[in-house]
Structure 1
Amino acid sequence: MTTRVAMWSGPRNISTAMMRSFGSRADTVAVDEPLYAYYLAATGIDHPGRDQVLASQPRRWQDVAAQLTGPCPAPVLYQKQMTHHLLPEVGRDWLGSLTHAFLIRDPAHVVASYAKVRGEPTLDDLGFPQQISLFREFGGPVVDAADVLRDPAATLRRLCEALGLAFDEAMLSWAPGPREEDGVWAPHWYAAVHASTGFAAYDPSPARVPDRLRPLVEAARPYYDEMAAHRL
């Protein structure tokens, strides 16, 4: 029986490093943002490599759901899922067959990082409301990116236990370079992960949020605080 772990996070988190971590397990197949092409097709948003993304994945969420709940060759199927890709018209019935987990990050750091990529993000761009909605409906373990970076071994052990999985030391390091599971968008976004051999060291520096975006941080904080109260 396959354990289908859907790890839900917003953008500008350590989601790709977490995918590397789980993808390093001998018993795991990883899937990178399976709803990305659907999201681009449905919204018309222009992202780097848009045409390649649309050509690389199904554009109907129903087809994605069928793939993610269908046969899997490994005991664990790790899904790197972006909360903002789960648009309101996506059906929810298939989500009941997944084991949900949630990766959170302080919104000040999320906004500061996102602002370097897109100048005027919205709350929906950051995925905080979508994430709390999923958590309230399905529950599941919550890990904070800061906790992972402070102590990867201890945090991942707790996460694996909560997911009913044995911890694997291989989750703590990996070979540099691209992986087969990386989305076709990797050349635009994954340079840091491709250069890495493990989780980055925790940086305690405060986030530098542009003044114009401070209201966005405050709007996102109640969602983060509710999730953070449940973190492992």
Structure 2
Amino acid sequence: MNTILALWSVPRSISTGFERMMMERGDFKIIHEPFSYFFYAKERRAEAVHMNVDPTAPLDFPDILAFIRSEAEKKPVFFKDMCYHVISRADQEFLGNFVNTFIIRDPAWTLPSHHKLNPDFTMEEAGYEAQTRMFEMVTKMTRKTPAVVDAEDLVEDTHGVVKAYCEAVDIPFMPQSLTWKAEFKPEWKTWEKWHLDAADSTGFMKDMEQFDVTVHDVPRLRDAYESCRPLFEVLYPHRLRAR
């Protein structure tokens, strides 16, 4: 079986932009948030806001994993997903299927962006607790720190951060993958409304998002920020640095 490279994220962390870069490489089969079907369509743990359900997609956790593994028999696989989609089932056996990597972003940015699309998101969906737990699980399992990309670093120094990521996971660095044609990718159909910025992008661009509020304007967001920021700070010191 070929490598399965996983990027574990929180919502609104530029993870789909990172996935778009991986698409541009051309050497990986890309699978987009496969475990969202388990969380939203199978377990129904929260309302599936703006979800376009594909009736052919696997829903059961073992079936989703089997699908990913079957694709890896043909070609190396890259998938990105939310930690909170899988944390209820994540254990050493599950995580051992993948090269596990993480993308993080300051909740001062993710929470207003999330609020814009889903004002009633739950704290589980904010994603930081699950991401911290998974990071700690992977670190303990592998006895080394997994690759962590910080979204703001990625935008500020795309070349350096992506190169460092490629070195960390032992894949070739392809500078040509850092820019692309603006287009909507079929892999994003399930969550189409959530990925319009990624579809409009041609690279990792600053100030693409416009927010109506900040975390200081809405009491609920302020409370969420106070809960999420310390969790973000657990991973932040481990972020990749450009060499």
Normalising by the residue count of structure 1, what TM-score does the alignment of the two structures yield? 0.89
1:87 to 1:42, Cα distance in 2 relative to 1, 3 A: farther
Q: Is the 8 A contact 2:54 2:190 kept in 1?
A: no
Partner of 1:145: 151
Contact 1:32 1:80 in 2 (8 A): yes
- Matched letter for residue 189 of structure 1: W
Aligned to 1:229: 237
Q: Is the 8 A contact 2:83 2:127 kept in 1?
A: yes
1:192 corresponds in structure 2 to 197
**Cα gap change, 1:44/1:214 in structure 2, threshold over 3 Å: closer, same or farther?**
closer
Residue 92 of structure 1: CA displacement? Answer: 5.0
**Deviation readout 1:104-158 (Å, 9 max, x if unpaired):** 0001111121121222433311111111111111131101000000011100000
Residues 155-185 of structure 1: per-residue CA shift (max 9 Å, x gap) = 0000010011110113201122122433432
TM (normalized to structure 2)?
Answer: 0.86
CA distance in 1, matches of 2:50, 2:111: 23
Secondary structure of residue in 2 paired with 1:224: helix
Which amino acid is 1:78 matched to? F
Task: Give structure 1 stretches of 5+ with no counterpart.
Answer: none
For residues 79-118 of structure 1, what are the structure 2 equivalents within 5 Å?
Answer: 79-89=79-89, 93-118=93-118
Q: CA 1:47–1:120 in structure 2 vs 1: closer, same or farther (change >3 Å)?
A: closer
Q: Give 5+ residue unaligned stretches, structure 2.
A: 140-145
Q: How far 1:224 moved relative to its partner?
A: 0.5
Any idea what SS the aligned residue of 2:214 has?
coil
Provide the aligned length of Structure 1 versus Structure 2.
Answer: 228
Whether contact under 8 Å (2:71, 2:77) holds in the other structure is no
Cα RMSD after superposing both structures: 2.2
SS in 2 for 1:100: strand
**Contact residue 21 and residue 173 of structure 1 kept, 8 A:** yes
| C-alpha deviation, 1:90, in angstroms | 5.5
Q: Aligned pair 1:65/2:65, yes or no?
A: yes
SS at match of 2:230: helix
CA shift digits 1:33-90 (9 cap, x unpaired): 001111112025332454x42514111011011122234222x311111112114146
| Alpha-carbon distance in structure 1 between the residues aligned to 2:99 and 2:172 | 15
Give the corresponding residue for 2:164: 158
| Aligned counterparts of 1:216 and 1:49: Cα–Cα separation in 2 | 22
2:188 partner SS: coil
Q: CA deviation at 1:228?
A: 0.2
Aligned mate of 2:184, from 171, 178, 182: 178
CA distance in 2, matches of 1:170, 1:118: 34
Does structure 1 conserve the Cα–Cα contact (< 8 Å) formed by 2:29 and 2:71? no
Alpha carbons of 1:180 and 1:170: their partners in 2 closer, same or farther (altered >3 Å)?
farther
**Contact 1:69 1:94 (8 Å CA) reproduced:** no
Contact 1:33 1:183 in 2 (8 A): no
1:38 aligns with 2:38: yes
1:4 CA drift (Å): 1.0
CA contact (8 A) 1:37 1:54 kept: no
Structure 1 window deviating more from structure 2 (27-36 vs 63-72): it is 63-72
